[in-house]
Amino acid sequence: MQKWIQELAQAPVGQVRFQEPLAPYTTWKIGGPADALIVPENREELAAALRLLHRHGVPWQVLGRGSNTLVSDKGVRGAVVKLGDGFDEARFEGGTVTAGASYSFIKLSVLAGKEGLTGLEFAGGIPGTVGGAVYMNAGAHGSDVSRIFQSADIVWEDGSEAVLGTQEMAFSYRHSVLHDRRGIVTRAVFRLTPGNRTEIAAAMASYKDRRRRTQPLQEPTCGSVFRNPPGDHAARLIEAAGLKGMREGGAQVSLVHANFIVNLGGATAEDVLTLMGRIQRTIEAKNGIQLVPEVLLMGER
């Protein structure tokens, strides 16, 4: 047994599960096992886990609610960190909301509306965690995290901690500083604005109805697969190319929304990757545009 695994089994890092299948933890229901799945319940346990992994040079990945993530069929070598219930909390104070990184981004938007605070309506259809939303600068309906962000608590890969403001986060389209420097969000603070509860509820109901009509909500998906290219939409390009319904094994380009790939049952990560490659080659040939994946790939090919 590798030394890091022996140490991890005894360390104060929360729950540790070895050779844990990751498919049940993803919205696509796809993926092999992680060498180790670590579930810390507080910042101290998280920092201890990252220090141990850093000391042994063990690679690690973060898994939230498993949306926007494709886990390899071969699984993940090294460790996967999934923040536990200790990070699943939210608190409203005036016009700010402080939320733990594992808190549901959708739930946070609903609670903000009930508090009469506007600014989070766009999050009502983003099925990830607060931490994942900050990491990706998640957005929809013309808004994104950067517009309401105040600060985030971070644990870096060496176990050190920091609080980053908007400038330090270096937000851009579906990007933050955490794409360039390894760390994990543990908590975030957002600035919201007092608004009309009726108008907020109406906007969220409208977004929800639109999602119900335009997205395959009843099938396993990861959300949008590709980023929108400048001045266009990936879904429009894919549909215009006649790719709706194109299938590879158990994976299919959704008949409802062309930028979604659904798991029809038994789809593998290789099915999805092959289908993504076919889409990219077709769009580049037809439009001269290289579609960039929005989905995060985790594990070995």
Cβ(32)–Cβ(71) under 8 Å? Answer: yes
* 121 given a catalytic annotation: no
* 224 given a catalytic annotation: yes
Residue 1 confidence (pLDDT): 54
Structure tokens belonging to residue 295? 């989905």
Look up the CATH number of domain 216-298: 3.90.78.10
| 8-state DSSP, 178 | G
Ordered by start, the domain boundaries in the chain are 3-82, 87-199, 216-298
Look up the CATH number of domain 3-82: 3.30.43.10
- Are both 87-199 and 216-298 of the same fold? no
Q: Tell me the pTM.
A: 0.91
List alpha helices for 137-295, DSSP H. Answer: 166-169, 197-214, 234-240, 269-287
Annotated active-site residue in 20, 45, 219, 294: 294
Look up the CATH number of domain 87-199: 3.30.465.10
Find, among 296, 133, 298, the residue nearest to 227 by Cα. 296
List alpha helices for 72-120, DSSP H. Answer: 105-114
Annotated active-site residue in 174, 176, 187, 254: 174
Size of the chain in residues: 301
* 294 given a catalytic annotation: yes
Annotated active-site residue in 102, 224, 248, 254: 224
The lowest-confidence range among 39-48, 97-106, 124-133 is 124-133
107-125 pLDDT per residue, tens: 999 999 999 999 999 988 8
Residue 107 burial by Cβ neighbours in a 10 Å radius (0-12, 13-18, 19+): middle
Residue 124 confidence (pLDDT): 83
135-164 pLDDT per residue, tens: 999 988 889 999 999 999 999 999 999 999
CA distances from 273 to 46, 69, 245, 251, 277 (A): 31, 12, 16, 9, 6
**3-class secondary-structure state, position 145:** helix
Q: What is the mean pLDDT of the chain?
A: 95
Own/partner pairs, 88-95, CB within 8 angstroms, 24+ separation:
92/117, 95/191, 95/192, 95/193, 95/194
